[in-house]
Chain A
Amino acid sequence: MDASLRVVHFVNQFFAGLGGEEAANLAVEVRREAVGATRALVAALGEQATVVGTIVAGDNYMNDERDKARAAVREALRGLRPHVVVAGPAFEAGRYGIACAEVCRVAAAEGLPAVAAMHPTAPGAMMYGREILIVPTGPNAADMPRVLGPLVRLALKLARGEALGPAEVDGYLSRGIRKSGVRAEPGFIRALDMLEAKLAGRPYASEIPYQAPEAVAPAPPVRDLRTIEIALVTTGGLVPKGNPDGQTSGNAQKYFRYPIDQLQALRPGEWEAYHVGYFTHLVDRNPNYVLPLGYMRELEKAGIVGAVHRYAYTLPGVSTPVATARGLGEGIAAQLREGQVGGCLLVST
Chain B
Amino acid sequence: MISAIYDLALTTGANRVVRGCRIEHVCGNPALGPDKDHEYGLTIIRTALRALTTPVTGPTLFDPARAEAPAEISDAS
| A residues in contact (CB < 8 Å) with B | 212-216, 218-223, 225, 230, 236, 278-283, 285-286, 288-290, 292, 294-296, 298-299, 304-305, 343, 345-349
Interchain CB contact under 8 A, B26 and A289: yes
Most chain B CB atoms below 10 A, which of A214, A221, A305, A348: A348
Q: How far is the CA of A28 from the CA of B13 in the complex (A)?
A: 48
B21-58 residues at the A interface, CB under 8 angstroms: 23-28, 30, 41-42, 44-46, 48-49, 52-58
Interchain CB contact under 8 A, B13 and A215: yes
Interchain CB contact under 8 A, A215 and B52: no
Interface of B is mostly: loop
Minimal beta-carbon separation of A25 from chain B (angstroms):
45
Beyond A216-B15, A221-B54, A292-B41, whether A278 also contacts B24 by CB under 8 A is yes
Q: How far is the CA of A29 from the CA of B44 in the complex (A)?
A: 69
Interchain CB contact under 8 A, B46 and A299: yes
Q: How far is the CA of A218 from the CA of B48 in the complex (A)?
A: 15
Interchain CB contact under 8 A, A218 and B56: yes
Interchain CB contact under 8 A, B58 and A299: no
In the assembled complex, 13 residue pairs joining A and B whose CB atoms fall closer than 8 Å, in A order, are A213-B12, A218-B55, A218-B56, A222-B52, A230-B49, A230-B52, A288-B41, A292-B27, A295-B27, A304-B46, A347-B26, A348-B5, A348-B9
Query: B20 on the interface (CB 8 Å rule)?
Result: yes
Query: B73 on the interface (CB 8 Å rule)?
Result: no
Query: B61 on the interface (CB 8 Å rule)?
Result: no
- Closest residue of chain B to A292, judged by CB? B27
Interchain CB contact under 8 A, A304 and B49: yes
Beyond A221-B54, A348-B9, whether A286 also contacts B26 by CB under 8 A is no
Across the A-B interface, the 4 shortest Cβ-Cβ residue pairs: A218-B15, A348-B3, A295-B45, A289-B25
Which chain A positions have C-beta within 8 A of B2? 292, 345-348
Beyond A221-B55, A295-B41, A345-B45, whether A286 also contacts B25 by CB under 8 A is yes
Beyond A346-B1, A348-B2, whether A282 also contacts B30 by CB under 8 A is yes
